[in-house]
Amino acid sequence: MKKNLILILCLFINLLCLKSISAMQENLIQYQISFPNPENHYCNVTLKFTSTASSHILGMPVWTPGSYLVREYSKHIDKIWLSGASNSAAMVKINKNQWKISCKKGALIEITYQLYCNEISVRTNFVDYSQAFICPAATFLYIKGLEKSPCLVRVVPNKYWKKMACALAISKFEVKADNYDLLVDAPIQVGNHDEFDFDIDGVKHTVVMVGKNNADYTKLAVDMQKILRQTIAVFGELPINNYLFIVHNTQNQGGGLEHLNSAVLMMPSQDYKDYDKYMGFISLVAHEYFHLWNVKRIRPKELGPFNYDEENYTNLLWFFEGFTAYYDELLLYRAGFIDKENYFKKITSTISQTEYRPGVQVQNLADASFDAWIKAYRPNENSFNTQISYYGKGSIVALLLDITISSNKKDSQNIDVLMKALWKMYKKQPQKGLIESDIIAASESAAGISLTTFFNELIYSTKSPNYDSFFNLVGLDFTKIADNNKPHIGLTTKKIEGKLVVSNVYFNSAFYNAGINVNDEIIALNNMRVEDLQTAIDTCIIGDKVVLMISRAGQILNLEVKLSKNPNDLLKITAQKNLTANQKTTQTIWLKKGL
């Protein structure tokens, strides 16, 4: 009897397993992407799945995680139709990015759509004769209610393409994801790109170089490993089995976008030999790799699970982007790419760009984060006067917090102790995102003091911090040098078809107060033809009244301008002489090397 019971139990378990496997096979979401005419920038995508109800909603995301702007990816679908064995089904579009499928439960549904792919960026699709870059959010329809089902993507390359790269690749031209969220977080590169790889702590890192370039791959591999090891040291461990960098070498574009196990970067193809631009690229590598922890795993509560149909608001981008921006330059110093003096110059540049932007007096960091969807990625000619960058000012908050934590001298810890604490918090509850109070509490624990005033003033007000008091803690002088010798131009210009046209006017500058507008064409100053306004103004002195001749909408106007001094002092950070023991210790903790 006992043997019979065991046999019955085993059969029951086997049946359950078979049923589970069968269910997984039924719910497998299959995509096929092909490129019959890549030179015309098109690809075809076919979606197959077994229906689990009498109707399904299919949708195309309107944005991609990491890039906080509604981009309306469905606008690139030129044709969509039921194909294959979907004869008994019906499909109708119900809003800008969704379609409703009416069908029989258990029926095989097949939909094909044609995508136009001709925008070169890290967040959009691009297809031509030489390559295909696939941004998953802009490519693959989701099936509402089946987002947790496994996904399989088969790539049918153009006959000339021999390679595919994706962090989730399971074969030469196949990609498998456990669910739709993971698929969206794994960009695909197809073509004949160059590749090199290296191991860090037993984890393979692959670098795909798309397009001709002047990089030295051997040097690049060594330098990337240096910066990546410093990044890993911040958190103490590497939580992945593989990592992929897709580098697009362009004519003049830069930038990057993080993903769960990969990143897409853009670099002007001939800039690798320019030291400063090359350091900018290494800094970008650090930035996107740092996101492997900070935002892709340690994340704000609002960013995951994702809502792909509308904006996902959070007021914490100052932390997830700003603190990452702080580290991407700090890690250059820790890795030995720059010395203290050059690191201080980078800090000075960030402070100058932030504090001398008129928008710093208008928008606080929390608002800058929350309004990223409608402002940060949709700038206009007046944005400089009304907005700040949560990257720049967020980086300053990280800097000042780092000095504050370092001055506590608790176990010789700097800001790394905060990042490690948040990483530990994530590992305990991976599905739980952070709220602001989590970050503040962890920061106070690291600093050993209350930081209520610190965060209130830096995040929720437009008050400038007292830089002198912070830098004095680490034995540095924060010097302001008045630049009063020449009149302040107070605007920017650009040449359009040989015409000198105003592109920005700074709030409360002499030209702003005189009524100069964006798009005004500057013709003459004091009846003398102007080719470059700054050169013309340099011949004048502060207090002079000049007459600027402009053309506005075809009308010639003469505006009187009283020239004023530059309100922005030159900033400089220098080492103090005769540092106290406390200053020496705090600076050492703050700037200690990671490895």
194-290 folds as Neutral Protease; domain 2 (1.10.390)
Q: Which of 561, 539, 548 is nearest to 521 (CA)?
A: 548
Q: What is the mean pLDDT of each run of 10 residues along the chain (595 residues)?
A: 46 42 63 96 97 96 97 98 84 98 94 97 97 98 97 96 97 97 98 98 98 98 98 97 98 97 98 98 98 98 94 98 98 97 97 96 98 95 96 98 93 95 97 96 97 97 96 96 83 94 95 95 95 91 94 96 91 94 96 78
491-562 folds as Pdz3 Domain (2.30.42)
DSSP label of 298: B
Cis peptide before 567 (omega within 30 of 0): no
Question: Rounded to whole angstroms, how far apart are CA atoms 209 and 202?
Answer: 22
| pLDDT for the residue numbered 503 | 95
The ranges of the chain annotated as CATH 2.60.40.3650 are 25-191
Task: List CB contacts of 557: < 8 A, sequence separation 6 or more.
Answer: 549, 550, 551
Longest CA pairwise span in the chain (Å): 111
The ranges of the chain annotated as CATH 1.10.390.10 are 194-290, 317-476
**CB distance 263 to 246 below 8 Å:** yes
With residues binned 3-state (H G I as helix, E B as strand, rest as coil), the percentages for the chain, rounded to 5, are 35, 30, 35
In CATH, the architecture of 25-191 is Sandwich (2.60)
Task: Compute CA distances 120 → 134, 211, 529, whole Å.
Answer: 11, 13, 39
- Report which residue type is found at 276: D
Q: Which residue in the block uniquely carries the two structure tokens 């149909």?
A: 309
Length of the chain: 595
| pLDDT for the residue numbered 246 | 98
Question: Rounded to whole angstroms, how far apart are CA atoms 467 and 472?
Answer: 8
Question: Rounded to whole angstroms, how far apart are CA atoms 59 and 64?
Answer: 13
**What's the CATH superfamily of 317-476?**
Neutral Protease Domain 2 (1.10.390.10)
| pLDDT for the residue numbered 594 | 64
Sign of CA dihedral 402, 408, 412, 416: negative
Three-class SS state of 500: strand
- Report which residue type is found at 145: G
Task: Compute CA distances 5 → 12, 15, 299, whole Å.
Answer: 10, 15, 49
| pLDDT for the residue numbered 567 | 87
**CB distance 432 to 301 below 8 Å:** yes
Question: Rounded to whole angstroms, how far apart are CA atoms 401 and 398?
Answer: 5
